[in-house]
Amino acid sequence: MSRRARASETLTEAQKKIVEAAVTAFAEQGFHGTATRDIARRAGVAEATIFKYFPSKRDLLLGVLGPAIEQLVGPAMARSMDPLFDATYPSFEAFLRALLAERIAFVRAHPQLVRILAQELPFDAELRGGVMSRVYAPFLAKGLAVIERFQREGQIVDWPPPLVLRCVVSTFAGYILHRVFVAPDAAWDDEVEVERVVAFVTRGLSPRQPA
């Protein structure tokens, strides 16, 4: 992340209002659909005040997401994912169930931040780099180690571990985004849905499947 994305630890009241308003606006309307005048209106400040602290709307986006990735997402992931990867599970299915439950809980705890990241990461290489280095990379080795253990036990197909991990992550991410953001008010039976998603991944990665 660039230096401008690393906000100082102390913000003025005006900066706090601007950042809070930007989070809400970006989450609701997307980065490109949000005008700085709308952020100013939500924050109760003049539009010129935004540019006093953030030279451009992109600087504001990075000012919102940079500290969030470094100070919120990374530490929160460590608190939740380290125990998950360090625990011993009797089956791959049990591990998947615990992993999916943890990821759903995280997204529900930080819906606006996750929505902004989901909207902007595909189109912003700098943000992707920050997420990869500060969020994804620290847990990659542990995730691969879990996959390799279940492969040694013969519980999952002997594909390259990074491929197996991508299959799990992409399936879970698709389910969570649809559940929380795309159709949150649909008639979901969460317990049944989670079990079926876990069963889908477990069966798809079963060693009985042709490699």
| pLDDT per position as a tens digit, 60-69 | 888 887 777 7
Among 128, 104, 122, 109, residue whose Cα is nearest residue 177 = 104
Burial 90-125 (b: 16+ CB within 10 A, else e): eebbebbbebbeebbebbeebebbbbbbbbbeeebe
pTM of the full structure: 0.78
Whole-number average pLDDT of the chain: 86
> Which pLDDT belongs to residue 134?
77
What's the rounded mean pLDDT across residues 33-38?
Answer: 92
Going along the chain from its start, the domains and CATH numbers come out as: 3-204 (1.10.357.10)
> Which pLDDT belongs to residue 2?
38
Where does the pLDDT of residue 10 fall: very low under 50, low under 70, confident under 90, or very high at 90 and above? low
pLDDT tens digits, one per residue of 164-196: 999 999 999 999 999 988 898 999 999 999 999
> Which pLDDT belongs to residue 210?
52
The percent of residues above 90 in pLDDT, for the chain, comes to 43
Q: Is residue 6 scored above 90 in pLDDT?
A: no
pLDDT tens digits, one per residue of 75-112: 777 787 888 888 999 999 999 999 999 999 888 888 88
Where does the pLDDT of residue 48 fall: very low under 50, low under 70, confident under 90, or very high at 90 and above? very high
| HEC-encoded secondary structure of 71-94 | HHHHHHHHHHHHHHHHCCCCCHHH
Q: Provide the 10 A C-beta neighbour count for residue 73.
A: 21
pLDDT tens digits, one per residue of 107-125: 888 888 888 888 888 888 8
